[in-house]
Structure 1
Amino acid sequence: MTRTGSCFCGAVQFVASEIGKLGACHCTSCQRWTGGPLLGVSVPEGALVVTGSEHVVTRRTSGWATRSNCGTCGSPLWYRYDKGVDGTGSYEVPLGLFDEKDDIPLTSEIFIDFKPAGFAFAGNHPRRTRAEIMPASPEGA
């Protein structure tokens, strides 16, 4: 199913021809970037077509990823894991940017040990800590 979406001001719009799962990342970086956990929908490399790319501002935020925002309104657009074995990556697009999102269930949470105590997501899905995530990540950090 094709999904459409945009940033807050509409300067950046996208079509995702394929989506993966919805996950929540509670790491400190995502909290500072979004103001809370990143509720990101995975979109494979090549499945995201963007219009208004001249408004996209991208910054390297770790040794293996970049984060992009709309340069006009500031909306977080995607986290891109870009250090895959073949040099390609995938996108984690914030759920709130999609026009249709009611049928995308939360399937996992990571960095659960960084989650603020004041909230919790319902559902029976995997919840992994930093120690469980980091050994599998690139560069071991």
Structure 2
Amino acid sequence: MCQRWAGSALFAITIPEVDITFSGIHAIQRFQSSGWAERAWCGTCGSSLWYKVTEKGQHFGGYEIPIGLFDDANGLVIAHEIFIDRKPDAFALAGDHERLSDAETLSRLGITEE
């Protein structure tokens, strides 16, 4: 789902709900993309704005903000890849970082279905 939404792999930075504010809230469009998460985009320009876990649990309320929204994403480091067993064969990110399978990702999010 992230690949279709982002047009490729989704590279995002996690920002806790308490640390983020939005302007132009009237233009934000939201869609409950699964039983446990929503996606949002700008209704004016169409840019993807966030992926957010909506089910109560450890990761509830955190925003995954696409790094393409930042003017300067230099200095960011890949911390982990999720849903690694769904990635296309051509996607092979270098580096020593955590790689989580579907089951591991859902478990970490506290999700029991999907």
Q: In the aligned structure 2, how far is the partner of 1:52 from the partner of 1:44?
A: 19
1:124 alignment partner in structure 2: 96
Q: In the aligned structure 1, how far is the partner of 2:57 from the partner of 2:13?
A: 21
Q: Percent identity?
A: 41
Matched residue of 2:18: which SS? coil
The count of residues paired between Structure 1 and Structure 2 equals: 112
Give, in angstroms, the shift of residue 79 of structure 1. Answer: 0.4
Uncovered stretches (5+) of structure 1, i.e. residues with no partner = 1-28
CA contact (8 A) 2:84 2:102 kept: yes
Moved over 4 A (4+): none
2:84 alignment partner in structure 1: 112
Is 1:41 the equivalent of 2:18?
A: no
CA RMSD of aligned residues (A): 1.7
Is 1:138 the equivalent of 2:91?
A: no
Aligned ranges for residues 33-72 of structure 1 at < 5 Å?
Answer: 33-72=5-44
Uncovered stretches (5+) of structure 2, i.e. residues with no partner = none
1:99 alignment partner in structure 2: 71
Q: What per-residue deviation string (whole Å, max 9, x for no partner) do you get for residues 42-92 of structure 1?
A: 000121111111111001111111100011111110001122249x51100
Q: In the aligned structure 2, how far is the partner of 1:107 from the partner of 1:117?
A: 20
Higher strand share: 1
What is the TM-score normalised by the length of structure 1?
0.73
Q: In the aligned structure 2, how far is the partner of 1:134 from the partner of 1:81?
A: 11
Residue type of the alignment partner of 1:103: G
What is the TM-score normalised by the length of structure 2?
0.88
Q: In the aligned structure 2, how far is the partner of 1:59 from the partner of 1:119?
A: 27
Residue type of the alignment partner of 1:30: C
Residue type of the alignment partner of 1:138: I
